[in-house]
């Protein structure tokens, strides 16, 4: 049986008529920029999160504009993890601040609060933990470190829409949370999209101004901003999909539970671990195996698509060749990158497909 890594069409099929009607309505009114659907989406997502939301054009900009709106810029340092998507770092660089990497915690793919604390200097202004794969980072410990050193915590929730930490949705735990609506994310747009949320209405207001050429009124520019608006067409689509998100996340949880159950007896496979205080939303289901590349090649031969998130830790990327990070400097993230494998995961993946993936893994292990 062929198993795709992601199949978006399955999740959209039951909603497509509603989505197309809503998008046609926008087209009929030619309300392409800042149409009422954008505000409506912000309000709906805000109600879902319990905080104010500003929609922007992607998560990279959400992080960049949030950090800038917090006053972070040249001369400052921002700490994040090396096993994230490069955009997390690009957003920090775009402010003019320096990226500082902290290793991941033992038994986790998320920021190690102790390593983050060790990386703090007098220049550090913020921590950007990433809730990688949809599993929340250790926010209590991270916020404790931040408080001790007077730092902001900006959560990268690109992969974790709807995940909870001690019952609270991620994004609402730090000063701000940033979300991606890249099509394959748990809540995806028909194109690029993003948002930030905060319990500080003034921060949301500043980001909104920055994302719209530094203005609140059409021809009055009070700061130098940029163009980072969410298109009305995508806002109309996202509002409809937001209604389905909790159910999509439930389906992901069901698939994750089945993977964990079926892989339980394979000692060589290290399954993902979710701390007790967390509810994951399984953007990705990531296992670990010492012979990851051989396993991946075997699964490919069997028609099973897999992914690597991410194959190389960012501190070892060519762009940081002169930044002083060497091989062995962040050993837990480096080891993870060598062994991780993302299995097919999307709402609508069938029981038979998950079983086929696990059977194929079993065959690989049997043949040795």
Residues 293-352 that bind ligand PLP (CB under 6 A): none
Min dist. Cβ of residue 2 to ligand PLP (A) = 25
Min dist. Cβ of residue 25 to ligand PLP (A) = 25
Min dist. Cβ of residue 260 to ligand PLP (A) = 23
Of 110 and 232, CB closest to ligand PLP: 110
Of 298 and 320, CB closest to ligand PLP: 320
One of 85, 195, 330, 361 touching ligand PLP (CB under 6 A): 85
One of 52, 66, 83, 84 touching ligand PLP (CB under 6 A): 84
Q: Is 60 in the site for ligand PLP (CB under 6 A)?
A: yes
Q: Is 161 in the site for ligand PLP (CB under 6 A)?
A: no
| Helix, strand, coil percentages, rounded to 5, for the chain | 45, 15, 40
> Where is 58: in which H helix or E strand?
none
Q: How many CB atoms lie within 10 A of CB 162?
A: 24
Min dist. Cβ of residue 36 to ligand PLP (A) = 23
Min dist. Cβ of residue 185 to ligand PLP (A) = 7
Of 117-125, 151-159, 197-205, 289-297, the segment contacting ligand PLP by CB under 6 A is 151-159
Q: How many helices (H) and strands (E) does the chain have?
A: 12, 14
Q: Which of 53, 68, 43, 40 is nearest to 200 (CA)?
A: 53
The dihedrals phi and psi of 140, each to the nearest 5 degrees, come to: -60, -50
Residues 163-182 that bind ligand PLP (CB under 6 A): 180, 182
Min dist. Cβ of residue 314 to ligand PLP (A) = 11
Strand ranges in 105-163 using DSSP code E only, listed in sequence order: 124-127, 152-156
One of 64, 156, 334, 353 touching ligand PLP (CB under 6 A): 156
Of 65 and 255, CB closest to ligand PLP: 65
Q: How many CB atoms lie within 10 A of CB 123?
A: 12
Residues 172-231 that bind ligand PLP (CB under 6 A): 180, 182, 192, 194
Residues 88-107 that bind ligand PLP (CB under 6 A): 88
Dig out the tokens for 114 from the structure.
């102790």
Residues 6+ apart with CB under 8 A from 221: 213, 214, 215
CA 325 centroid distance within chain? 24
Min dist. Cβ of residue 315 to ligand PLP (A) = 16
Distance CA 277, CA 164 (A): 8
Of 76 and 156, CB closest to ligand PLP: 156
Residues 6+ apart with CB under 8 A from 215: 209, 221, 222, 225
Q: Is 58 in the site for ligand PLP (CB under 6 A)?
A: yes
Of 137 and 356, CB closest to ligand PLP: 137
Q: Are 102 and 78 in contact (CB under 8 A)?
A: no
Q: Which DSSP state fits 155?
A: E
Min dist. Cβ of residue 122 to ligand PLP (A) = 27
Q: How many CB atoms lie within 10 A of CB 221?
A: 14
Min dist. Cβ of residue 363 to ligand PLP (A) = 31
One of 49, 59, 97, 314 touching ligand PLP (CB under 6 A): 59
Q: Are 19 and 41 in contact (CB under 8 A)?
A: no
Q: Are 60 and 84 in contact (CB under 8 A)?
A: no
Of 295 and 313, CB closest to ligand PLP: 313
Query: Maximum Cα–Cα distance for the chain, whole Å?
Result: 69
Of 11-19, 152-160, 260-268, 340-348, the segment contacting ligand PLP by CB under 6 A is 152-160
Distance CA 63, CA 215 (A): 19
**Residues forming the site for ligand PLP (CB under 6 A):** 58-60, 84-85, 87-88, 130, 156, 158-159, 180, 182, 192, 194
């Amino acid at each position: 049986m062929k198993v795709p890594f992601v199949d978006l069409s399955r999740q959209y099929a039951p909603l497509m008529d509603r989505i197309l009607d809503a998008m046609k309505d926008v087209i009929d009114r030619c309300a392409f920029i800042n149409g009422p659907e954008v505000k409506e989406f912000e309000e709906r997502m805000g109600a879902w999160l319990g905080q104010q939301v500003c929609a922007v054009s992607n998560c990279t900009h959400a992080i960049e504009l949030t950090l800038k709106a917090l006053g972070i810029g040249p001369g400052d340092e921002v700490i994040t993890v090396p096993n994230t998507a490069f955009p997390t770092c690009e957003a920090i660089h775009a402010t003019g601040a320096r990226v500082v990497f902290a290793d991941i915690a033992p038994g986790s793919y998320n920021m190690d609060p102790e390593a983050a604390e060790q990386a703090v200097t007098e220049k550090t202004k913020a921590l950007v933990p990433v809730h990688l794969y949809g599993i929340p980072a250790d926010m209590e410990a991270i916020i404790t470190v931040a408080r001790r050193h007077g730092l902001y915590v900006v959560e990268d929730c690109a992969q974790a829409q709807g995940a909870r930490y001690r019952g609270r949705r991620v994004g609402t735990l730090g000063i701000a949370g940033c979300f991606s609506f890249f099509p394959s994310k748990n809540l995806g747009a028909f194109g690029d999209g993003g948002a930030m949320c905060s319990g500080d209405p003034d921060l949301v207001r500043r980001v909104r101004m920055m994302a719209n050429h530094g203005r609140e009124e059409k021809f009055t520019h009070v700061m130098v901003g940029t163009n980072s608006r969410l298109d009305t067409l995508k806002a109309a689509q996202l509002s409809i999909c937001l209604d389905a998100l909790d159910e999509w996340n439930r389906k992901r949880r069901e698939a994750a539970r089945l993977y964990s159950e079926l892989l339980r007896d394979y000692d060589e496979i290290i399954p993902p671990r979710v701390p007790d205080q967390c509810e994951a939303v399984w953007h990705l289901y990531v296992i670990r195996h010492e012979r990851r590349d051989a396993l991946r090649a075997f699964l490919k031969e069997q028609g099973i698509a897999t992914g690597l998130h991410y194959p190389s830790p960012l501190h070892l990327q060519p762009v940081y060749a002169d930044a002083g990070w060497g091989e062995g400097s962040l050993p837990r993230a480096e080891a993870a990158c060598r062994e991780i494998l993302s299995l097919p995961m999307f709402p609508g993946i069938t029981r038979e497909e998950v079983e086929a993936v696990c059977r194929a893994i079993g065959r690989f292990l049997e043949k040795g």
